[in-house]
Amino acid sequence: MRKWSRQLQLECQLLFTNRLLWPLPPLFGLWFAYTLTAIEPDVSQNIYLYAYDFHKLQHTLSLGIAMLIGMLLIRKDMVRPSYEWSAGLPVSSSAFIAAKYTAGLLYLSLFTFVMAAVYAGFGILAELPVSELRSHLSFFAVQYTVSYMVTLALAMLLAVLIPNRVCYMIGFCAWIFGTFFLDVFLISRLRLYDLKTFHLSQFFTNSLWENDVWGPYLLSEELWLSRRFVLCFTFWMLATVVMLIHKKRPSSAYRSSVTAMLLALLASVLAFVPYEAMWQERFSAYEKKLQDAPPDYADRTSYGESSFSVSSYELTVHRHPDDRLDVTAAVQLDAPPQTDGTSMTFTLNRDFVLKKLSVNGKPVPAKQTGDLVTFDRAALEDGPARQTFLFEYEGKLFNWYPASSYREVVNGFVRGDLVYLPSHLAWYPIPGKQVLYVQDTPGTFRDRYEAGHELLADFDVKLTGFTGELFGTIRKQPEQGDFTQSFKQDKTNGVTLFAGHLTKIRIPGETMAILTSPANKHEAEKFLKAYSDIMAYYDSWLSKPLPKPEAMLYMPLHMVAAQQERSIHKAAGNRFVFSESLHTNLDAFQLAQMVHVSLFGDRNAGIGFPGEGPGSSLVGSIRRAFYQVYQAEHPKRQEETPLGAGLLYPRFPVGAGREAAGDPVDRAVQKAIREGRLDHVKRVLDNYYSKGLSIEGEWAYRYPIIQASDWEQAWSGGAKHE
Distances (CA, A) of 605 to 300, 612, 649, 693: 27, 21, 12, 12
Region 118-122 average pLDDT: 96
DSSP state of 520: G
Task: Pick the last residue of a domain from 288, 321, 356.
Answer: 288
Q: Assess if residue 297 is contained within a domain.
A: no
List residues bridging with 458 in a β-sheet.
312
- Burial (CB < 10 A; 0-12, 13-18, 19+), residue 345, is buried
Task: Please indicate, yes or no, whether residues 472 and 566 belong to a single structural domain of this protein.
Answer: no
For 385-436, the pLDDT digits (tens) are 788 999 999 999 999 988 877 888 898 999 999 999 988 899 999 998 888 8
Least confident of 59-63, 162-166, 245-249: 245-249
Helices (H), strands (E): how many in the chain?
18, 22
Can you tell me the distance from the alpha carbon of 464 to that of 316, in angstroms, rounded to the nearest whole number?
Answer: 8
Task: Find the mean pLDDT for residues 648-658.
Answer: 45
413-423 burial: b if 16+ Cβ within 10 Å, else e: bbbbebbbbbb
Q: What confidence score (pLDDT) does residue 226 get?
A: 96
Whether residues 23 and 148 share a domain: the answer is: yes
List Cβ neighbours of 650 (8 Å cut-off, separation of 6 or more).
624, 627, 656, 657
Q: Which of 17-26, 141-150, 197-206 has the highest mean pLDDT?
A: 141-150
Beta strands in 122-223 (DSSP E): none
pLDDT level of residue 61 (50, 70, 90 thresholds): very high
- What pLDDT score does 650 carry? 42
Residues 234 and 316 in one domain: no
346 and 275 in a common domain: no
pLDDT band at 117 (very low <50, low <70, confident <90, very high): very high
**Taking the CB of residue 287, how many other CB atoms lie within 10 A of it?**
11
Residue 216, domain member (yes or no): yes
Looking at the structure, tell me whether residues 259 and 390 fall in a common domain: no
Indicate if the alpha-carbon torsion angle 353, 355, 361, 362 is positive or negative.
Answer: positive
**226 within domain boundaries:** yes
Helix (H) or strand (E) holding 650: none
Same-domain pairing of 541 and 397: no
Cβ-contact 69, 168 below 8 angstroms: no
Residue 661 has pLDDT above 60, yes or no: no
Both 554 and 479 in a single domain?
Answer: no
Residues 542-570 have pLDDT tens digits of 999 888 888 888 887 767 764 544 434 43
Do residues 339 and 375 both lie within one domain? yes
What's this model's pTM, rounded to 2 decimal places?
0.87
State the pLDDT at residue 153: 97
Sign of CA dihedral 546, 549, 555, 558: negative
Percent of the chain's residues with pLDDT above 70: 87
485 and 521 together in one domain: no
Query: What is the model's pLDDT at position 719?
Result: 47
Query: How many folded domains does the chain comprise?
Result: 3
Q: Of 261-275, 395-409, 426-440, 640-654, where does the model show the most confidence? A: 261-275
Q: In angstroms, how far is the first alpha carbon of the chain from the final one?
A: 97
What's the average model confidence in pLDDT over 20-45?
88
Last residue of a domain, one of 479, 500, 521: 500
Residue 428 maps to a domain: yes
Q: Is residue 445 helix, strand or coil?
A: strand
Q: Give the Cα separation of 564 and 424 in Å (integer).
A: 15
Which CA distances in Å does 264 have to 71, 205, 667? Answer: 22, 31, 81
Q: What is the rounded average pLDDT of the residues 67-94?
A: 74
Ranking 1-10, 171-180, 502-511, 546-555 by mean pLDDT, the lowest is 1-10
Q: How confident is the model at residue 612 (pLDDT cuts 50, 70, 90)?
A: low
Is 238 a member of any domain?
A: yes
Based on the number of CB atoms within 10 Å of its own CB, is 336 exposed (0-12), middle (13-18) or buried (19 or more)?
Answer: middle
What pLDDT, on a 0 to 100 scale, did the predictor assign at position 168?
A: 92
> Do 462 and 512 share a domain, yes or no?
no
The pLDDT value given to residue 77? 78
Look at residue 322 and tell me whether its pLDDT is greater than 50.
yes
CB atoms within 10 A of CB 168: 18
What is the arithmetic mean of pLDDT over 512-530?
90
User: What is the mean pLDDT of the segment spanning 145-160?
Assistant: 96
Do 475 and 523 share a domain, yes or no? no
Q: What is the span of the domain harbouring residue 574?
A: 507-722
Residues counted in the chain: 722
Q: Let me know whether 569 and 587 are in one domain.
A: yes
Q: What's the pLDDT at 245?
A: 87
Residue where one domain finishes, among candidates 474, 500, 526: 500
Q: Evaluate whether residue 293 is within a structural domain.
A: no
Mean pLDDT, to the nearest integer, of 302-307? Answer: 56
**Within a domain: residue 368?**
yes
Per the model's pLDDT, the better-predicted residue between 604 and 120 turns out to be: 120
Positive or negative, the CA dihedral 699, 702, 705, 708 is: negative
Greater pLDDT, 581 or 667:
667
Q: Say if residue 90 is preceded by a cis peptide, omega within 30 of 0.
A: no
Determine the pLDDT at residue 607: 77
- CB within 8 Å of 30: residues ≥ 6 apart: none
